[in-house]
Amino acid sequence: MDTDDGHVCHCPVTAAERVISGRWTLLILRDLADGAQRFSSLERSLTGISTRTLTQRLKALEVDGVITRSIHDSGTCRADYRLTEKGAALLPVIEAMRRWGERWCLAPDAVVETGRTAADAAETLQGA
């Protein structure tokens, strides 16, 4: 995979990060996990995303081969977005991130490596 500065990336983690790291990208993929969605459905689901940002993210994901865009022949300019095989292969990664977030970021009694709970750590950070 080429980097933004024209160099070839040989690290698979870096290559994957470049595909999924854009703001909103993981949430777009999460929404498309349930099946094809129209632009307007995605926009409603992703509270706070601008039309411009959603358009940019969808185009980037399409270029990366993670989603496809299908235009309806009904005479309207409506399109559906859906995951490709490559995009669907990211779903277990997103699910693992969800489980990690539930355990380490959301659970007030989740114990971090120091033996302190997340709530204890948050208290320490607030006092700093």
Do 42 and 31 meet the contact criterion of CB atoms below 8 Å apart?
yes
What is the rounded CA–CA span in Å between residue 69 and residue 54?
A: 13
In the prediction, which pLDDT does 128 show?
47
Buried-exposed string 90-106: b where 16+ CB fall within 10 A, e elsewhere: beeeeeeeeeeeeeeee
In the prediction, which pLDDT does 3 show?
53
For residue 66, report the phi and psi dihedrals to the nearest 5 degrees.
-90, -30
Do 112 and 118 meet the contact criterion of CB atoms below 8 Å apart?
yes
Res. 121: pLDDT tops 60: no
- In terms of pTM, does the model score above 0.85? no
Of 17-26, 70-79, 93-102, give the lowest mean pLDDT range. Answer: 70-79
In the prediction, which pLDDT does 73 show?
73
pLDDT digits (tens, 9 = 90+) for 12-40: 999 999 999 989 999 999 999 999 999 99
